[in-house]
Amino acid sequence: MTQVERHTYDVVVVGAGGAGLRAAIEAREQGLRTAVICKSLFGKAHTVMAEGGIAASMGNANPRDNWQVHFRDTMRGGKFLNNWRMAELHAREAPDRVWELETWGALFDRTKDGRISQRNFGGHEYARLAHVGDRTGLELIRTLQQRIVALQQEDHERSGDYEDRLRVFQECTVTRVLKDGARVSGVFGYVRESGRFFVIEAPAVVLATGGIGKSFKVTSNSWEYTGDGHALALLAGAPLINMEFVQFHPTGMVWPPSVKGILVTESVRGDGGVLRNSDGKRFMFDYIPDVFKEKYAQSEQEADGWYADPDNHRRPPELLPRDEVARAINSEVKAGRCSPHGGVFLDVSTRLPAEEIRRRLPSMHHQFKELADVDITAEPMEVGPTCHYVMGGVEVDPDSAAATGVPGLFAAGEVAGGMHGSNRLGGNSLSDLLVFGRRAGLHAAEYAAELGTDDRPRVSAEQVDTAAAEVLRPFSVEGGEPESRTENPYALHQELQQTMNDLVGIIRRASEMTEALRRLADLRQRSRRAAVEGHRQFNPGWHLAIDLRNMLLVSECVARAALERTESRGGHTRDDYPEMDRRWRKTNLVCELASGDGELAAVDPADGQIRLTRRDMPPIRGDLLALFGKDELLKYLTDEELDT
Ligand code: FAD
């Protein structure tokens, strides 16, 4: 029998970014014993890296803003593939979540008359992003952590134990969601430093593990983002949706090579920065798609007028949704009109006084000075697309964040699918984390509270043994003949990243994705022989060998769904199907584990794999459709949908 450390809680939250912390706070506030687990140090998550701000229609910058306008923008940004109920809840509840943060101590930048300042971002009709310079995520996480500490202090006063009802397990990786029959019974994982195993028994598990970017070579994502939550859900029997939609942020650093992919915040463009090609041309005017023509300026003069007088000017095309800008940059580079290191120029130095740039964009100023020896107050930056965010994720019930088909499993934040449709608007992630993190925590707590003591699912010893054997496998792989030689996890990871970058990247073709699937199958076979040396105490090679299972599963979902969707929409661009096709608008592609029932059988990476099905979304509610003009709806909905 495997040696494990055991704990029992009511709710386990996997992930300590914005979604995880907000979920944990809510579950604890409902009075339930809650554990939070994170791979890295507490406080270090993608959320902390978020720069630009939180989108919420508080109406501080423009009183005409309201939830309906935010909803419209979100649906347009997602090209109407969004789960409309999630988009509605998000737009309605985001302002409350921002004000709540303020009551918990967040210090947002202010307007001159003392209200929370809101800045412009791509695809948002009005200035809508509450921010703290370009370090908004840091303030968000700081505030949520402070709230957790406050709750722990309350518990200490009550019981003498700070961790009585809310405990953080940091530097721990969860490798399996455990089940008792159909229901969730807890999680299995290991402590990264010691390699010791642990099991947390709990009837409710909230996945809040963030993104999948580390499957791609050029990415803004950090080491933790190996699609763990996506894979954990699949392995537990829950479906993923929309996995073909991966956001390539238009502006990542392109030079020097060691920092390629690191994000250059959209705030640079929101605050006036412009994109130019090697001819000095402000090229975005050539790339305004028909669906957005009425909303975007046609000349530099009109675009520049918008910053001071948005009511009487149309928006600059640099502020089109991210998918449009990323494709435009890609086309300029392909046409040879690129910067010396294969990007384009992003210039704020000629647009704002140096002092103002340092005040509004302190992190960007620091980042370019330190990493590229570029002073952004005096010269342009070189930028190009970088894999940034996954719109696809766990299929959830919009109101409760419950994962489809697995009682006790919930998901929120980037790991959940549906909210952003085919493309996420900047700033809509931080608000998504808070709105759905809270909902997930609330409903997980309610679910757990309703179970009687005798009715709680149990963790079986066999499941624990199987989960342990799965993660220990890389220590016992032995090499042999050339065809069964051992494999280096780092080399496999590099090949995977190159495959996804080159063949399932920003522009896709059927032949390349078919080749990607072939290579992924080969990598899966080889990953069975991924071997590591040494022991379980902090062993990064071992950790990567475990993470490979997740990246391979998730990459297959992305490639299969991308091959199936024969149109271009949002974060999915097909060279061989360049048009958006209205018939695809209401179809979700659903990925499930082919082996089916999510029993805790060890996954054989050579066969498992993904079953893909098409599922129609429910029709958009009439009062929400009425927020759009008929002419606009005609661009997205089929005639039959419009008639009903
Ligand atoms: P994360 O914050 O990514 O946290 C995931 C957590 O899960 C981490 O604690 C991690 O350790 C843990 N975890 C993962 N796997 C496991 C496992 N197996 N076991 C245990 N724990 C695990 N969005 C905006 O709206 N506005 C912005 O300005 C903005 N700027 C961004 C800038 C950068 C550089 C990046 C990378 C993203 C930015 N985003 C922005 C996107 C946004 O930050 C992320 O989408 C969001 O923070 C994701 O939050 P989350 O809570 O879902 O997950």
Tens digit of each residue's pLDDT (9 = 90 or more) over 185-201: 999 999 999 999 999 99
Catalytic residue, from 176, 269, 360, 565: name it.
269
- The CB of 247 under 6 Å from ligand 1? The reply is no
- The CB of 433 under 6 Å from ligand 1? The reply is yes
Q: Assess whether pLDDT exceeds 70 at residue 78.
A: yes
pLDDT score at 562: 97
- The CB of 414 under 6 Å from ligand 1? The reply is yes
d(CA 151, CA 638): 50
Q: Taking residues 555-572, report their average pLDDT.
A: 96
Q: Assess whether pLDDT exceeds 90 at residue 511.
A: yes
H or E segment to which residue 403 belongs = none
Q: Residues 218, 222, 224, 226: what is their CA dihedral angle, to the nearest 10 degrees?
A: -20
Question: Which residue, by CA, sits nearest to atom 26 of ligand 1?
Answer: 427
pLDDT score at 134: 82
d(CA 643, CA 5): 59
d(CA 39, CA 171): 4
- Sheet of 393-394: strands edge to edge? 393-394, 240-241, 587-593, 610-616
pLDDT score at 137: 95
Q: Assess whether pLDDT exceeds 60 at residue 61.
A: yes
Q: Assess whether pLDDT exceeds 50 at residue 599.
A: no
Closest to 247 in 3D by CA, of 263, 231, 235: 263
Catalytic residue, from 249, 315, 420, 473: name it.
249
Q: How far is the CA of 481 from the centre of ligand 1 (A)?
A: 42
Q: Assess whether pLDDT exceeds 50 at residue 601.
A: no
Q: Assess whether pLDDT exceeds 80 at residue 600.
A: no
- The CB of 37 under 6 Å from ligand 1? The reply is yes
Among 25, 205, 429, 470, say which to mutate for ligand 1: greatest number of ligand atoms within 8 Å of CB: 429
Q: What percent of the chain has pLDDT over 90?
A: 86
Q: Assess whether pLDDT exceeds 70 at residue 395.
A: yes
Q: How far is the CA of 356 from the centre of ligand 1 (A)?
A: 29
* 211 touches 233 (CB < 8 A): no
d(CA 268, CA 325): 14
Q: Taking residues 514-536, report their average pLDDT.
A: 93
* 466 touches 47 (CB < 8 A): no
Q: Taking residues 271-285, report their average pLDDT.
A: 96
Strand partners, 240: 394, 591
Closest to 428 in 3D by CA, of 564, 321, 278, 317: 321
pLDDT score at 596: 59
pLDDT score at 480: 73
Q: Taking residues 223-233, report their average pLDDT.
A: 96
pLDDT score at 90: 98
Among 209, 218, 383, say which to mutate for ligand 1: greatest number of ligand atoms within 8 Å of CB: 209
Tens digit of each residue's pLDDT (9 = 90 or more) over 149-159: 999 999 999 99
Q: How confident is the model at residue 607 (pLDDT cuts 50, 70, 90)?
A: very low
- Higher pLDDT residue, 598 or 626? 626
ipTM at complex level: 0.99
Q: Assess whether pLDDT exceeds 70 at residue 604.
A: no
Q: How far is the CA of 132 from the centre of ligand 1 (A)?
A: 18
DSSP state of 504: S
Is 416 in a helix, a strand, or coil?
strand
Q: How confident is the model at residue 597 (pLDDT cuts 50, 70, 90)?
A: very low
Q: Assess whether pLDDT exceeds 90 at residue 160.
A: yes
Reply yes or no on whether 535 is catalytic: no
In this structure, the number of other CB atoms found within 10 A of the CB of residue 507 comes to 16
Q: Assess whether pLDDT exceeds 60 at residue 603.
A: no
- The CB of 136 under 6 Å from ligand 1? The reply is yes
Question: Which residue, by CA, sits nearest to atom 23 of ligand 1?
Answer: 429
- Higher pLDDT residue, 122 or 284? 284
Q: How far is residue 175 from each of residues 130, 399, 430, 444, 548, measured CA to CA in Å?
A: 36, 27, 26, 20, 11
Lowest mean pLDDT among 435-439, 464-468, 635-639: 635-639
Closest to 501 in 3D by CA, of 221, 314, 125, 158: 221
Q: What percent of the chain has pLDDT over 70?
A: 97
Among 425, 430, 550, say which to mutate for ligand 1: greatest number of ligand atoms within 8 Å of CB: 430
Q: How confident is the model at residue 173 (pLDDT cuts 50, 70, 90)?
A: very high
- The CB of 394 under 6 Å from ligand 1? The reply is no
- The CB of 261 under 6 Å from ligand 1? The reply is no
Q: Which atom of ligand 1 is nearest to the CA of 189?
A: 19
Lowest mean pLDDT among 164-173, 181-190, 474-483: 474-483
Among 21, 47, 214, say which to mutate for ligand 1: greatest number of ligand atoms within 8 Å of CB: 47
pLDDT score at 75: 97
- The CB of 38 under 6 Å from ligand 1? The reply is yes
Q: Taking residues 361-373, report their average pLDDT.
A: 94
Phi, psi at 129, each rounded to 5°: -95, 110
Q: Assess whether pLDDT exceeds 70 at residue 89.
A: yes
Q: Taking residues 218-222, report their average pLDDT.
A: 94
Tens digit of each residue's pLDDT (9 = 90 or more) over 315-350: 999 999 888 999 999 999 989 999 999 999 999 999
- The CB of 270 under 6 Å from ligand 1? The reply is no
Q: Assess whether pLDDT exceeds 70 at residue 537.
A: yes
List of residues 6+ apart from 184 with CB closer than 8 A: 177, 178, 202, 203, 204, 205, 236, 406, 407, 408, 409, 457
pLDDT score at 482: 67
Q: How far is the CA of 211 from the centre of ligand 1 (A)?
A: 7
Q: Which two tokens stand for residue 262?
A: 């690191």
The angle subtended at Cα 122 by Cα 513 and Cα 275, nearest 5°, is: 80
Tens digit of each residue's pLDDT (9 = 90 or more) over 95-114: 999 999 999 999 999 999 99
Q: How far is the CA of 553 from the centre of ligand 1 (A)?
A: 20
Question: Which residue, by CA, sits nearest to atom 15 of ligand 1?
Answer: 209
Reply yes or no on whether 493 is catalytic: no
Q: Assess whether pLDDT exceeds 90 at residue 52.
A: no
